[in-house]
Amino acid sequence: MIEEIGVHIQKLPGYMDISLPLYMTEHAAGMDIYAAVKIDETIFPGQRKIIPTGIAIALPEGYEAEIRPRSGLAIKNGVTLVNSPGTIDADYRGEIGIILINHGEEPFVIRRGDRIAQMIIHRVCKVSWIECVELDATSRGDGGFGHTK
């Protein structure tokens, strides 16, 4: 059974026509988020822009929202997020902005109402650091980047 929580969301003035984040399939983990640009925005190859969404949320304490790229935009157009995943903290109340970058070869046009990213809500925990002189041993040890075949 999947836990369901209520999250307050606000459509900001001038954005009443923009859809709220929406699960596109029954078992989707992420909700699509929509562009709330006033006029079409073009992102040229190598360029990045903050795209407004027209929404603000109030997450309950102990939760965060992650903003992730849409795979369709990435494979078809080379458009993705600069900071992926982006994090929305439970105490943030401003408009959600999506920082897109065009890694493609052609200019990419964003229109009002386009699906531009996904949002996933997660539980978080606080860490209490326990400083120690030595860590317990594992079979991996300090094997890092590319250590497995």
Q: Model confidence over 36-58: pLDDT tens digits?
A: 999 999 999 999 999 999 999 99
Q: Is residue 27 domain-resident?
A: yes
Q: Is residue 62 domain-resident?
A: yes
Rg (CA), the chain: 19
DSSP, collapsed to helix, strand or coil, labels residue 73 as: helix
Q: Is residue 35 domain-resident?
A: yes
Q: What is the CATH number of the domain that holds 109?
A: 2.70.40.10
Q: Is residue 52 domain-resident?
A: yes
Q: Is residue 143 domain-resident?
A: no
**32-65 per-residue burial string, b: 16 or more CB within 10 A, e: under 16:** bbbbbbeeebebeeeebbebbbbbbbebeeebbb
Tally the domains of the chain.
1
Structure token pair of residue 67: 């903003």
Q: Is residue 140 domain-resident?
A: no
Q: Give the percent of the chain with pLDDT over 90.
A: 87
The pLDDT tens digits for 68-103 are: 999 999 999 999 999 889 999 999 999 999 999 999
Check pLDDT > 80 for residue 148: no
Q: Is residue 2 domain-resident?
A: no
Q: Residues 124-144: what's their mean pLDDT? A: 89
Q: Is residue 3 domain-resident?
A: no
Provide the residue range defining the domain that includes 90: 8-123
